[in-house]
Structure 1
Amino acid sequence: MNTELANSLEQAIESGDLELPVLPAVAARVMELTRDPDSSAADLAALVQSDQTLAGYIMRVANSAAYAARDQMQTLQQAITRLGMQQIGQMALTMIVGEVLLKLDKRGEAIVSGLWRTSLGTAAWSREIARMMRENTETAFLCGLLHEIGKPVALHTIIALAREQDTDLEEDELVELMNRYHQVIGARLATEWRLPDPVIETINHIDDHLAAPTSAQSVAIVRGAREINAALEADPDTPIESIESDMLIELNLYEEDRRELDGKKETVQELLQAMVV
């Protein structure tokens, strides 16, 4: 590990001198509307329709196999009425945050693209596990999506510091530093963006869900989803019931449950294809 660079990164973290990406105003407004009990579907529709790219993305995802169980939805208002404000808001955040992270730095673009695909997969499987366990699917999806949000930001910061110090870094050095510091940076970013507490707890405790003060179950679901997604990334034909996982056992997902999850592979894959920014 490049000690000088690691020290500079630690100083930036400790001093608060991190260049964190700004959450676009439309994303902040989406979160406000979906949290406000007095807001309406019309309010959310008006906001989304002000951005044609965002509106098109939401309609594409809403009409994917994961959501469009019956007839195709023709209008944004129809999608919001059928799916609810929380799910539509979730789709909007997925696109907006994905675009923010993917544009951070050209040097790390390939790494970030891979990280985002993994996050989308983890989010999709978190949603399926939560549905099976009768937990909140929107919370599970968001926690899965953002549990490693610090990685792209850490990568961007490391690359910027390396440029300042005129230091050449190999990809494995970049990844090593990113993996070491992403949690603290991710938690800082999540706090700055005012993300929900379960997301912040998932970032901080993804490797030890029992340490999460109030959201241990949400973190556990993401951990289980992450293991499923990792196995399927390695081999898409892997039967989910064959995955050896203490986490899935702890979630009480046994052979019958895993076979049911295995039947969701095609739906999840179609959702991922629709959600790629």
Structure 2
Amino acid sequence: MVTFGTNRLAVETLLAGEVKLASPPEVFLRLCEILDDPAKTVYDAERVIEHDPGTAARLLRLVNSAFYGFPRQITSISRAIAMIGLKELRDLILATWVVERFSRLPNRLLDMRAFWRVSVRTGLLARALARRHAQAKSLQSVFVCGLLHEIGRLVIYAKIPELGRAAELLTKAEGIEEIEAERRIYGFDHYQLAAELARRWRLPEVFVATLRWHGSPGEAGSFARETALVTLASRLSLAEVFPAEAVEPTALLAFLHLPAACLPEALEEAEAQLDEVFRGLFRG
């Protein structure tokens, strides 16, 4: 469990208000239970997913997209599980739900399409970098971690937009980091807020940790690699949109033991998948 010291009450107060941020869908929670129960089988998971036709259709659309690039069409959930695994399929369910639910939050400060495009790019780039890491097989959740990494910002803009705008103005006026401005304006930052939300949802700890320690992978314990991958992908994705904010990736690449030569390949891979995966997440 992540704790937030003296800021915890303020975070919980914000989440407890009029914006109803319900738990993830039942199908996601039931798949988590199946994964944790050695007596359960993939057939149990298949039945859970197929009981929700809308979710099953979205999953098959993503599984058949450029995200995986399978040479043949995957036409059944059982085949999808065999090809990508139950854990990754569960994470894709979370991805589609988060996009749908958070796109409904009211805000006047963000272009939602642009916001989600950067988030999808971040997830894809984190995944592309992870695929080039020596521990790639243990880093399969980074796409959804990247997709989720800015959801706290959406809650801020929906619940306390005036204060969110004030933090933006303070960042520009004093030339300070955004999270420092947020902590000064409302006592916590949007990554702390998102981590508390993930904890409330009972998400796997990798999601809580990559949110809580975004930008500080050295503090993320056993999830340091995932946190570093999402942090690096986020900075590179923002640089694609705002070239003036380009960052030097050397320190994070060294932290991950990744060569600089992998960056152009990872960027090209993520960009090639972006449009199709973005459409797959946003269609009904």
Coarse TM-score class (shorter-chain normalised): 0.7 to 0.9
Q: Which moved more, 1:249-258 or 1:207-216?
A: 249-258
* Structure 2 counterpart of 1:166: none
Q: Deviations over 1:230-262 (max 9, x none)?
A: 233347xxxxxx974232344333343223324
Q: Superposed, which structure 2 residues align to 1:259-274 within 5 Å?
A: 259-264=264-269, 265-274=271-280
User: CA 1:132 to 1:158, structure 2 compared with 1: closer, same or farther past 3 Å?
Assistant: same
Structure 1 position 17, deviation (Å): 6.5
Instruction: Give, as a single letter, the amino acid of the residue that structure 1 aligns with 2:208.
Output: I
**What secondary structure, in the 3-state scheme, does the structure 1 residue paired with 2:60 have?**
helix
Q: Which moved more, 1:83-92 or 1:110-119?
A: 110-119
Instruction: Give, as a single letter, the amino acid of the residue that structure 1 aligns with 2:55.
Output: L
Would you say the 8 A contact 1:80–1:88 is kept in 2?
yes
Structure 1 position 71, deviation (Å): 0.6
User: CA 1:153 to 1:262, structure 2 compared with 1: closer, same or farther past 3 Å?
Assistant: closer
Q: Deviations over 1:206-228 (max 9, x none)?
A: 12111223321111111111122
Would you say the 8 A contact 2:15–2:197 is kept in 1?
no
Residue of 254, 261, 266 corresponding to 2:259 = 254
User: CA 1:15 to 1:267, structure 2 compared with 1: closer, same or farther past 3 Å?
Assistant: closer
Would you say the 8 A contact 2:253–2:260 is kept in 1?
no
Q: Superposed, which structure 2 residues align to 1:44-59 within 5 Å?
A: 44-59=45-60
Q: Deviations over 1:184-211 (max 9, x none)?
A: 3212211111112222121111121112
Structure 1 position 58, deviation (Å): 0.7
Distance 2:33 2:108 in 1: 31
Instruction: Give, as a single letter, the amino acid of the residue that structure 2 aligns with 1:64.
Output: S
Q: Deviations over 1:16-55 (max 9, x none)?
A: 7623501132332233234444332222222222222211
User: CA 1:37 to 1:262, structure 2 compared with 1: closer, same or farther past 3 Å?
Assistant: same
Q: Which moved more, 1:186-195 or 1:145-154?
A: 145-154
* Structure 2 counterpart of 1:71: 72
Distance 1:58 1:41 in 2: 16
Instruction: Give, as a single letter, the amino acid of the residue that structure 2 aligns with 1:153.
Output: V
- Unaligned 5+ residue runs, structure 1? 1-8, 160-168, 236-241
* Structure 2 counterpart of 1:13: 11
Would you say the 8 A contact 2:156–2:190 is kept in 1?
yes
Would you say the 8 A contact 1:147–1:202 is kept in 2?
yes
* Structure 2 counterpart of 1:43: 44
Instruction: Give, as a single letter, the amino acid of the residue that structure 2 aligns with 1:273.
Output: R
Q: Which moved more, 1:34-43 or 1:172-181?
A: 172-181
Would you say the 8 A contact 1:123–1:143 is kept in 2?
yes
Distance 1:258 1:130 in 2: 11
Would you say the 8 A contact 1:12–1:18 is kept in 2?
no
* Structure 2 counterpart of 1:158: 160
**What secondary structure, in the 3-state scheme, does the structure 2 residue paired with 1:38 have?**
coil
Instruction: Give, as a single letter, the amino acid of the residue that structure 1 aligns with 2:222.
Output: T
Would you say the 8 A contact 2:191–2:214 is kept in 1?
no
Matched, 1:138 2:140: yes
Instruction: Give, as a single letter, the amino acid of the residue that structure 1 aligns with 2:39.
Output: D
Would you say the 8 A contact 2:213–2:219 is kept in 1?
yes
- Unaligned 5+ residue runs, structure 2? 1-6, 171-177, 183-188
User: CA 1:150 to 1:30, structure 2 compared with 1: closer, same or farther past 3 Å?
Assistant: farther
Would you say the 8 A contact 1:117–1:276 is kept in 2?
no
User: CA 1:17 to 1:76, structure 2 compared with 1: closer, same or farther past 3 Å?
Assistant: closer
What's the TM-score, normalizing by structure 1? Answer: 0.78
Would you say the 8 A contact 2:50–2:56 is kept in 1?
yes
Would you say the 8 A contact 2:56–2:77 is kept in 1?
yes
Would you say the 8 A contact 1:125–1:268 is kept in 2?
no
Structure 1 position 73, deviation (Å): 0.9
* Structure 2 counterpart of 1:275: 281
